[in-house]
A and B are shown apart, each in its own frame.
Chain A
Amino acid sequence: MFGKKSTTGVNTKEVKAILNEKKTKMELSLKACAHCTLCAESCFLFMGRNKDPKYMPSYKFLNSVGILYKKKGNVDILDLGEMRDLVWERCVLCTRCYCPVGVDIPEMIALARRVCRSQGVYPQYERE
């Protein structure tokens, strides 16, 4: 009844290889995030957008790398498109976010961007 989800347009082997390079750090970061929200106030985009939770660094990290990890890299082009909006539109990678337990959120967002880039999903500045 439920067939395997199509990942057409995405080279999942390549995605998995990139994720594997940072597997330990990714796992540790996802486990370590205590959802404490302390990172939120260090993000100027979060503060400047009426504290919209979708701009919270932990939200951005969990909904990009978290999804890649959960799906074990088996993502489709729509997943990456959604991720693109999240990791580029809602984060400028200023590297100022602070995590009390030491999760390197910018590194994780950069990882999600790297996965997107590897599949040709990145901002098209002249069209935006």
Chain B
Amino acid sequence: MVKAERKPIEEIKDAINGYKRVLITGCGGCVSICLAGGQREVNELKALLNIHLKKDNTPKELDGYTMERQCNDQFLEELEPTIDQYDCVLSMACGAGVQNMAKMFPQIPVFPALNTISIGIDKDIGMYEERCRACGHCVLGYTGGICPVTRCSKGLFNGPCGGTNNECCEVSQEIPCAWLDIFNRLKEQDRLDDIKKIHVPMEWHNQTPRTIIQESYKQRYSV
């Protein structure tokens, strides 16, 4: 799922500077699960901001509201009757949620309160690790289920670089070499031939927004 973390309080304060009535919106989806932008975090941010703003002698009217998901128009509609009471929105959703909120209510400035970090896994309570960069061209099938784009510091596609050092990355001795892990896993599964195959070069699509339509829905959307 999408993982995020809260922006520094000074950055948030800067963003809402000049606005009197601020609505802090939480999201009940991914950011709620990674303890960054759910209802509890909305309450926490509201309390924290109140303390900081009071200290700075610039108090504001802060309200909090958490909806089920900010990436779905249906749930954003809940805000329609009350949104005009506010001068700006501080969204605690991921980047997609913030943009959807801004699109839905173009008359109101929407500021992100979180930095969206990655698509990751839960390591422990409050600890998450990136596993996918949504590159749009998954190679896990022939890399033994280890992603070179995410795990290799250089995102190398064709094997390890010359910096592999004592089974670790030259960037840090704390980071295992992704390509050594790929090699070991494939060797264990007797699939080393998988990385010997020549594959077509990666087409990096990161420069344009990607939309997907699942196969069974293509007819419906005339694609």
A interface list, Cβ under 8 A from B: 21, 93, 95, 106-107, 110, 113-114, 117, 122-126
Contact = CB atoms under 8 A, between A and B. Distances in A.
B39 A122 contact: yes
Nearest to A92: B29
B72 interface: yes
B151 interface: no
**Closest 10 CB pairs between A and B?**
A126-B125, A110-B68, A122-B39, A125-B33, A93-B68, A117-B39, A117-B66, A126-B35, A113-B68, A110-B75
25 contacts: A93-B68, A93-B69, A95-B72, A106-B74, A107-B74, A110-B67, A110-B68, A110-B74, A110-B75, A110-B78, A113-B28, A113-B68, A114-B67, A114-B68, A117-B28, A117-B66, A122-B38, A122-B40, A122-B66, A123-B32, A125-B32, A125-B35, A125-B38, A126-B35, A126-B126
A47 to B, nearest CB: 17
A124 B75 CA distance: 21
B68 A124 contact: no
Contacts of B38: 122, 125
Contacts of A113: 28, 68
A110 B69 CA distance: 10
A125 B1 CA distance: 14
By secondary structure, the A interface counts as: helix
A95 B66 contact: no
Contacts of A117: 28, 39, 66
A65 to B, nearest CB: 14
Interface in B5-46: 28, 32-33, 35, 38-40
A123 B33 CA distance: 9
Interface string B57-73: 00000000011110010
B124 to A, nearest CB: 10
Contacts of B39: 117, 122
Contact of A95 (B33, B67, B74, B125): B74
Interface string B125-145: 110000000000000000000
A110 B73 CA distance: 13
B83 to A, nearest CB: 14
Contact of A114 (B33, B74, B78, B125): B78
Contacts of A126: 35, 125-126
Contacts of A125: 32-33, 35, 38
Contact of B40 (A106, A110, A114, A124): A124
Most A CB within 10 A of own CB, among B67, B78, B81: B78
A122 B68 CA distance: 11
A58 B72 CA distance: 22
A61 B84 CA distance: 31
B70 to A, nearest CB: 13
Contacts of A95: 72, 74
